[in-house]
Amino acid sequence: MPGARARAASRTRGVRRWHLVAGALVLAAAAGASLFVGVTDLGPRDLVVGDDREAMVFLASRVPRLVAILLAGASMSVAGLIMQHLARNRFVAPSTAGTVESAMLGVVVATLLFTGASLVVKMAIAVAFALAGTAIFLALLRRITFRDVILVPLVGLMFGGVIRALTTFVAYRVDLLQTLSSWTTGDFSGVLRGRYELLWLAAVVAVIAYTYADRFTMAGMGRDLSVSLGLAYERTVNVGLAIVATVTGVTVVVVGAVPFLGLIVPNLVTMALGDNLRRALPLTALSGAAFVLACDVIGRTIRFPYEMPVGTVVGVVGSAIFLLLITRGRHRAR
């Protein structure tokens, strides 16, 4: 019997590795190809024989954009996965729990209070708001006795709606509505060398998440069980909250909100790999990066040489995938 279990475990590990290697290879290839998609006519050959200008475009525009896409995609998906464990619900992600909306409110408040504030200050305030908003959501959840799978994200959506309304109201009163729209739709068109580097912070935070992976998995089994297993439950939840809020705040400030990302990518991955966070995290990060990359390339080419914001493309592709997920899931249940 133990032999069978060991065999099964090693098989899963094999599957995990295979997934990861294949995913990384596909992503690397796609990433490489995406470097040569853009308004400037630039092929791999030009990098070798090209002039200064081509090198400049490559280093100042193409590479930063790719890095920003990978960082944002990976970290937002990881944040979504953690969120799903903390709330013990598959439909809870930063975009369905008021986190994104809170971060936006934070940006508006930052813009208001500190006119011309540096990006770092704006970000810090956005993160603080995202943290507070998510904490309020989790506190709300604790008060709900009937914790239905669907009720929880609905509460999150309503909560997010209230915050969004508040944000819109404030923005309207102080003439920030137009600027608000540039944060509500994720967009990489403005990414250049020197204008996205804060995203590395989100990546660092996502890596920290990996060291906490087992504790999040445990927390995902519920407070009582995890406490009885010796987990410092509150602290784990707080760390998770901080990670989710930081990633969301940073991404909203640098590129804007990307809908669905934290929702569908973790769901797809856990469908394949199960709920062990340590196992699912790397592939989640990979898939998230790949998904955003694909959507941005679509956005860049669909109306070439003009741009379609990545937030819009993800919204369309993401909702299709999500519908597919739900209908397929239902079939399987029967």
In angstroms, the CA 127 to CA 109 distance is 12
Counting contacts by CB under 8 A, is residue 317 touching another protein? Answer: no
Could you say whether residue 40 binds another protein (CB under 8 A)?
Answer: yes
What is the DSSP code string of 239-273? Answer: HHHHHHHHHHHHHHHHT---TTHHHHHHHHHHHHH
Question: How many residues bind another protein, per CB under 8 A?
Answer: 68
Phi-psi label, residue 326: left if phi above 0, alpha if psi -120 to 50, beta otherwise: alpha
Q: Which stretch binds another protein (CB under 8 A): 198-206, 234-242, 268-276, 297-305?
A: 297-305
- What's the half-sphere exposure (Cβ side, CA atoms, 13 Å) at 314? 31
Taking the C-alpha atoms of residue 308 and residue 250, their distance in angstroms, rounded to an integer, is 22
Kindly state the smallest distance separating residue 181's Cβ from another protein, in Å.
Answer: 4
- CB of 132 vs another protein, minimal distance in Å: 20
In this chain, which of 182, 211, 228, 301 binds another protein, going by CB under 8 A? 182
From the list 67-75, 180-188, 202-210, 224-232, the region that binds another protein by CB under 8 A is 180-188
Residue 198 phi, psi dihedral angles, 5° rounding:
-60, -20
Question: Least distance (Å) from another protein to the CB of residue 334?
Answer: 6
How far out from the chain centre does Cα 257 lie?
9
- Cβ pair 201, 250 in contact under 8 A: yes
Query: Is 322 near another protein (CB under 8 A)?
Result: yes
Q: Which of 129, 159, 183, 196 binds another protein (CB under 8 A)?
A: 183
Using rule CB under 8 A, residue 164 touches another protein: yes
Place of tokens 């699912």: 280
Q: Could you tell me if 165 and 268 are in contact, meaning their C-beta atoms sit under 8 angstroms apart? A: no
| Cβ(23)–Cβ(293) below 8 Å | no
Site for another protein in 102-141 (CB under 8 A): 111, 115-116
Residues at the interface with another protein (CB under 8 A): 38-41, 53, 56-57, 60-61, 91, 95-96, 111, 115-116, 148-150, 153-154, 157, 160-161, 164, 168, 172-173, 175-185, 187, 189-190, 192-195, 257, 259-260, 263, 300, 303, 305-309, 311-312, 315, 318-319, 322-323, 326, 329-330, 333-334
